[in-house]
Chain A
Amino acid sequence: MPDEPTPISAEQVQHLANLARIALTPAEIEHLAVELGSIVDNVRKVTEVATPDVPATSHPIPLSNVFRPDEVGDVLTNEEALSGAPDAADGRFRVAAILGEEQ
C-alpha cells in the first residue's frame, strides 16, 4: 500500500455510483471524490496491523448450521407482499423495460 494520499477521481466516483445504481449530480460527484479520498486515507490504517497470521472475523459470535424444519411458516400473502409496491399488475411487481431501445 503506497504511503501517499489516495486521490479518488471524479471518474472513479461515477463508476462506483453506476455500480451502486445511484444517480449523482456533477456537484455531488465532485464533493464525494474529495471526501472519499480523505476518508480512505484515514481508514487505510487497518493495513498496519492486519498481518497474514491474523484470521479474519466476519461475525461477532459465530454460529454454524442454523437450520429450521422444512415447513411452510407464517409468510406474507400475495396482497401483503405487494402492498408497498410502487406498481403492480396481475399479482406481480411491475417494472419499466429491462432493455433500452439501443439494446
Chain B
Amino acid sequence: MDLTRLPASELAGLLSTGEVSSVEATRASLDRIAEADGDLHAFLHVAGDAAIARASEIDQLRRDGRELGPLAGVPIAIKDVLCTNDMPSTAASRILEGWIPPYDATVVARLRAAGMVPLGKTNMDEFAMGSSTEHSAYGPTRNPWALDRIPGGSGGGSAAAVAAFEAPVALGSDTGGSIRQPAAVTGTVGMKPTYGGVSRYGAIALASSLDQVGPVSRTVLDSALVHDVIGGHDPHDSTSLRDPWPSFAEAARAGAASGSLAGVRVGVVRELDSEGFQAGVRQRFDEALALMQNAGAEIVEISAPNFEYAIAAYYLILPAEASSNLAKYDSVRFGLRVTPGETATVEQVMSASRGAGFGPEVKRRIILGTYALSAGYYDAYYGSAQKVRTLIQRDFAAAFAQVDVLVSPAAPTTAFRLGEKLDDPLAMYLNDITTIPANLAGVPGMGLPIGLAPEDGLPVGIQLMAPAREDARLYTVGATLEALLHESWGGPLLDRLPADFGRSAARESGQPDHLVPAPGPGTEPDGGTA
C-alpha cells in the first residue's frame, strides 16, 4: 500500500486503528518529497527529522491510550505565509530569508494541538502577490500535470504538493483566489472560508480585509476535516467571528452519502462564464452543471452586473492595504538589513533594505498602493473601490435571495506556461477574475476539479460560493458533486496524473497554435468581460 496516495480521511482511519503509524506515514511523505520535489519545487523548507520526531511522539501518545483528534498523526504541508516557531517563515521573500518567528500562527498551533505533523513550508508568490508562484524569490513551483506549466498562485506550492502526493493535505491562504485558483489548475480541492471564520493571527498579512486562511486537499472531506481543526474564534484576531460552527466533516459526509442535489438551487453567474474563457474550461463547466441538474439541482442564471468592476476595485484595495501592511519590513525588528555606507541614516538603511529585499511585483504593488492612497487620488481611487465593494456585496445578496449556491469556472483557463504572463502584470491580474468577488464580499468559496480540458489535457476546476457563514453548505454540495464526478470517472481525477509529471508535454512545448487559449480575460488588458 502506498500511504502517500491515501486521502487524509482514510489515512486517519488506519492511524486510529494502529494499522499504520504516524512515523510510517510521515516517512512515506518525506520519501515522496525527496523523490518528486527536485522537479516540482513545491517546498521551501522540509521538516525532515523534526517531522519524524513529532510523528513518533504522536505514535507514543496513541500507544499510551491518549484520546487523539481525528487527524492525529496525519502529515500536513504549510504555506510559507504562516508563522511557524520551528521553521523559517519567509512568505517567499528575500527580506525574510531565514527568519524563524518567535510564535506560531493560531492555525499552526491548532493543527499541532490536533496531533498533525508539519512536513515543511510550501512555496508561493512573494507575500502572496501573484497567480503563478513565479514571483517567489526562491524560484517557481512547477505543475505536476506538466512541468512547463504554472501551478497557480499564490499558493502553488501547497497545491502542487498535494496534487503530487507529497502531502495528503496542506494549508493555504486566499486573498483574491490564492487557494481556489491553484486548486483549479492542479486538480485539487481548496476552500476559502468565510472571512473571519479562520484566524489570521500569525498569517503574514497581505491585505487584511481580504486575507483568509484555508485548507488544500485532494478530497472535499479532507478539506472539511482540516477546516474543523483550524476554524473557530481566536481572541488574537480582532476580525475573528464568534459564531459557533457546525462540523464541516459531517457536512461533507452527508453530501457524499446523499448523492442527490434535489431542491438545491444553483446560480450560474453570467458575468463569470465569459465567452473569452478557454473552450475546454467552459465545456467541462457545462458538463458539471448538467451532472448537477441530473442529480436534481435547479440551475438558474444569475446576473451580477458589478462583478465587472471587481478586478479594478481589488487592484486598488489590495495594493493600498499591502503598502501599509508591508511597512513593517523596515530592517529594525526582523528581516534583511542593508547598510549603504557608514554614515547612512536609518531612513537610508530602510530604503536600501526594502529595495534589495522586495521583488518586482511587491515593489509594483507597494508603489501602486502608495499612489492610490495619495492626497488628491484617495477619493477617486481607493474611495471608489470601497464603494464598488458595497455594490458587489449587493449583487451577492440579490443572487443569494434566489439561489443556494453560486457557481463559476474556478479560473478562466487551464494552467498557463511558466513565463507566459510574467512580463504582463495586467494579464496576470485578470487571471483572478472568477475568484476575487468572493474576497471582496467575504463569502466562502471552494474550488474542486471537474475534469481535464480536451485541448490540453490539463485540470479544470469549478468554483462554488455560498453566503457568508454558510461554509457547511459548500462542503455538502461540493462532496455530492465530487461523488457524482468520481462515479462518472471511475475514480479520482488525480489517478490520471502523469507518472513522469508530464515531461513529454514539457518537451513538446513548441506546441501548435490551436492549443493556445483563445484571447480573452487573462490575455487582453481590457479584460473582455463587458
Interface presence of A72 (CB below 8 A) = no
Docked complex: A17-72 residues within 8 A CB-CB of B: 17-25, 28, 32, 35-36, 38-40, 42-51, 54-61, 63, 66, 68
B345:A84 contact, CB within 8 angstroms: no
| A1, B334: Cα distance in complex, Å | 42
Using CB atoms, name the residue of chain A closest to B242. A63
Q: Which chain B positions have C-beta within 8 A of A81?
A: 102, 333
Known: A32-B367, A46-B313. A21 touches B330 (CB 8 A): yes
B363:A32 contact, CB within 8 angstroms: yes
| Centre residue among A13, A23, A40 by max chain B CB count within 10 A | A23
> Contact partner of A101 among B101, B343, B350, B441, CB < 8 A?
B343
Docked complex: B139-196 residues within 8 A CB-CB of A: 194-196
Q: Which chain A positions have C-beta within 8 A of B360?
A: 28
Docked complex: B347-363 residues within 8 A CB-CB of A: 347-352, 354-356, 358, 360, 363
Interface presence of A89 (CB below 8 A) = no
B391:A100 contact, CB within 8 angstroms: no
| Centre residue among A1, A19, A61 by max chain B CB count within 10 A | A61
Known: A1-B380, A21-B354, A39-B426. A57 touches B196 (CB 8 A): no
Docked complex: B196-234 residues within 8 A CB-CB of A: 196, 209-210
Using CB atoms, name the residue of chain A closest to B354. A22
Docked complex: B424-455 residues within 8 A CB-CB of A: 425-426, 429, 439-443
Q: Which chain B positions have C-beta within 8 A of A44?
A: 312, 380-381
B103:A54 contact, CB within 8 angstroms: no
- Can you list, as one digit per residue, whether each of B364-401 has a CB less than 8 Å from chain A (1) or not (0)? 10111011001000001101111111110100000000
B103:A76 contact, CB within 8 angstroms: yes
Docked complex: B403-418 residues within 8 A CB-CB of A: none
B387:A84 contact, CB within 8 angstroms: no
> Contact partner of B367 among A16, A56, A68, CB < 8 A?
A16
Known: A49-B306, A60-B195, A97-B345. A85 touches B333 (CB 8 A): yes
Q: Which chain B positions have C-beta within 8 A of A83?
A: 100, 102
A84:B368 contact, CB within 8 angstroms: no
B346:A38 contact, CB within 8 angstroms: no
| Centre residue among A49, A50, A58, A85 by max chain B CB count within 10 A | A50
Size bracket of the A interface: 35 or more
| A1, B389: Cα distance in complex, Å | 20
Interface presence of B316 (CB below 8 A) = yes
Interface presence of B262 (CB below 8 A) = no
B368:A36 contact, CB within 8 angstroms: yes
Size bracket of the B interface: 35 or more
A86:B358 contact, CB within 8 angstroms: no
| A17, B393: Cα distance in complex, Å | 34
| A41, B311: Cα distance in complex, Å | 13
| A60, B241: Cα distance in complex, Å | 12
Q: Which chain B positions have C-beta within 8 A of A24?
A: 355, 363
Closest beta carbon of chain A to B340's beta carbon, Å: 8
| A60, B440: Cα distance in complex, Å | 7
| A68, B236: Cα distance in complex, Å | 10
Q: Which chain B positions have C-beta within 8 A of A87?
A: 337
B335:A17 contact, CB within 8 angstroms: no
B371:A59 contact, CB within 8 angstroms: no
B335:A84 contact, CB within 8 angstroms: yes
Q: Which chain B positions have C-beta within 8 A of A22?
A: 351, 354-355, 358, 363, 366-367
Docked complex: B85-108 residues within 8 A CB-CB of A: 99-103
Closest beta carbon of chain B to A101's beta carbon, Å: 6
Interface presence of B239 (CB below 8 A) = yes
| A17, B367: Cα distance in complex, Å | 6
B363:A57 contact, CB within 8 angstroms: no
Interface presence of B21 (CB below 8 A) = no
B366:A57 contact, CB within 8 angstroms: no
Interface presence of B13 (CB below 8 A) = no
B352:A20 contact, CB within 8 angstroms: no
A46:B238 contact, CB within 8 angstroms: no
Using CB atoms, name the residue of chain A closest to B337. A86
A50:B384 contact, CB within 8 angstroms: yes
A85:B440 contact, CB within 8 angstroms: no
| A101, B482: Cα distance in complex, Å | 67
Interface presence of B344 (CB below 8 A) = yes
Interface presence of A80 (CB below 8 A) = yes
**Chain B: residues with CB nearer than 8 A to chain A?**
99-103, 194-196, 209-210, 235, 238-239, 241, 306, 309, 311-313, 315-316, 323, 327, 330-337, 339-340, 343-352, 354-356, 358, 360, 363-364, 366-368, 370-371, 374, 380-381, 383-391, 393, 425-426, 429, 439-443, 468, 525-527
Which 10 A-B pairs give the minimum distances between C-beta atoms? A60-B442, A23-B355, A84-B334, A50-B384, A56-B386, A86-B337, A80-B102, A50-B387, A57-B389, A23-B351
A-B contact pairs, 25 of them (CB 8 A): A13-B367, A17-B367, A19-B370, A19-B374, A20-B323, A22-B358, A28-B360, A36-B364, A39-B315, A43-B313, A46-B312, A46-B313, A49-B391, A54-B387, A56-B386, A57-B387, A60-B209, A61-B194, A76-B102, A80-B102, A84-B100, A86-B331, A95-B346, A96-B346, A99-B345
Given contacts A20-B327, A60-B468, 6 further A-B contacts (CB under 8 A): A19-B370, A23-B352, A42-B312, A45-B312, A50-B383, A54-B390
